[in-house]
Amino acid sequence: MSDYLPRPEHKFTFGLWTVGNVGRDPFGPPVRPAISPVEIVHLLAEVGAYGVNYHDDDLIPIGTPAAEQDRIIRDFKQALSDTGVKMPMATANLFSHPIFRDGAFTSNNPKVRAYALQKTLRCIDIGVDMGAKVYVMWGGREGTETDASKSPADSVKRLREGINFVTDYIRSQGYDLKVALEAKPNEPRSDIYLPTTGAMLGFIATLDHPEMVGVNPEVAHEHMAGLNFAHAVAQAWDAGKLFHIDLNDQLFGRYDQDFRFGSVMLKQNFFLVKFLEDVGYSGSRHFDAHAYRTEDYDGVRDFARGCMKTYLILKEKAARWNADAEIKALLAEVNANDGEFDYLSNGFTPEKAERLKAVEFDRDGIAAKGLAYERLDQLTVEVLLGVR
């Protein structure tokens, strides 16, 4: 049994905006005093996180004079080196300032698109300087309330043009930096373009440098769309595109709640953690979540520790599930193979097709046997509930 304590090899990270969230919502003002980025780094070190992720505006408010910017960066780097906390990911805020009210890369206004690009390049320069290896692009306002305002096809073209510019910039600077696109179906826009991880994966294939671009799937965002998050993650992994992941939790069909990881849908999160651990995902496990509005900063610490501890408990449950003799026997049974059709793997030949077409299948015999998935799922629940 593990101590469930976070260690650097677990790669647990939090954005500045997560533990630094002050509890503002559309119906009420902040409930916690803001703490500085340096204080956030110390809080994360105290709870045992590996890293902190950087949003340009969270660290350097828009319009900060150059000298002040240098001081902020110096102090932040000092906090990183004092605590050993790493900064593996950078991301630009292209959604808060009113200039982005109709999108950034997809705005109809070329000045807004140019500003979004400038802000991205500057964020990348600072992020790389502080150690970032991944740049996340979440197009929070890349969408519409009314499709009278712009053509969705033009918007996808504009997004492509913007991302191609960014990847060429990264190459021209010789940066060791990958780009991870984060999908969300809606909120704050009525509809956001490329609303799911699957849509992002299709889009990436159309870019100039698809090898530099992957995805950053978020639990809450796929759950808003009623989708199975682990399936989206598996497809991204299969495509070699799982560059980053945003872990949090919530039920299907709600607004973006960003709850503590594992606080709502335990079984789904169990299969997610099992997948990540089984395949050996080695990137950041980023908790893009925040504490309930009911909490003070002790509650924020409880929240952060809870995200990491639940991940580690689910990781241990996954190992237990994999080692369970009865589960293994059931899986072996449903995957039994007498070798009769092994010739179908390793590609097509006309001879294989002819041989296959001549087979008489015992449809009723094959269909008659139960698959014991009820038993398998019950055993899964028993592992999760701690009675196996």
The residues that are catalytic are 55, 58
Long-range contacts of 228-234 (CB under 8 A, 24+ apart): 228/268, 229/268, 229/272, 230/268, 230/271, 230/272, 230/275, 232/196, 232/197, 232/198, 233/197, 233/272, 233/275, 233/276, 234/275
**Beta carbon nearer to ligand GLT, 134 or 327:** 134
Contact between 222 and Mn ion per CB under 5 A: no
Shortest distance (Å) from residue 32 CB to ligand GLT: 16
**Beta carbon nearer to Mn ion, 136 or 300:** 136
Q: Which does 142 bind (CB under 5 to 8 A by kind): Mn ion, ligand GLT, none?
A: none
Q: Which does 91 bind (CB under 5 to 8 A by kind): Mn ion, ligand GLT, none?
A: ligand GLT
Contact between 249 and Mn ion per CB under 5 A: no
**Beta carbon nearer to Mn ion, 25 or 154:** 25
Q: Which does 58 bind (CB under 5 to 8 A by kind): ligand GLT, Mn ion, none?
A: none
**Beta carbon nearer to Mn ion, 58 or 246:** 246
**Beta carbon nearer to Mn ion, 229 or 321:** 229
Shortest distance (Å) from residue 340 CB to ligand GLT: 48
Q: Which does 136 bind (CB under 5 to 8 A by kind): Mn ion, ligand GLT, none?
A: ligand GLT
Contact between 288 and Mn ion per CB under 5 A: yes
Candidates 56, 57, 102, 218: give the one binding Mn ion (CB under 5 A). 218
Binding residues for ligand GLT, rule: CB under 6 A, are 17, 91, 136, 138, 182, 218, 246, 256, 288
Judged by CB under 5 A, the stretch of 126-134, 161-169, 242-250, 305-313 that binds Mn ion is: 242-250
Candidates 58, 142, 246, 249: give the one binding Mn ion (CB under 5 A). 246
Binding site for Mn ion (CB under 5 A): 218, 220, 246, 256, 258, 288
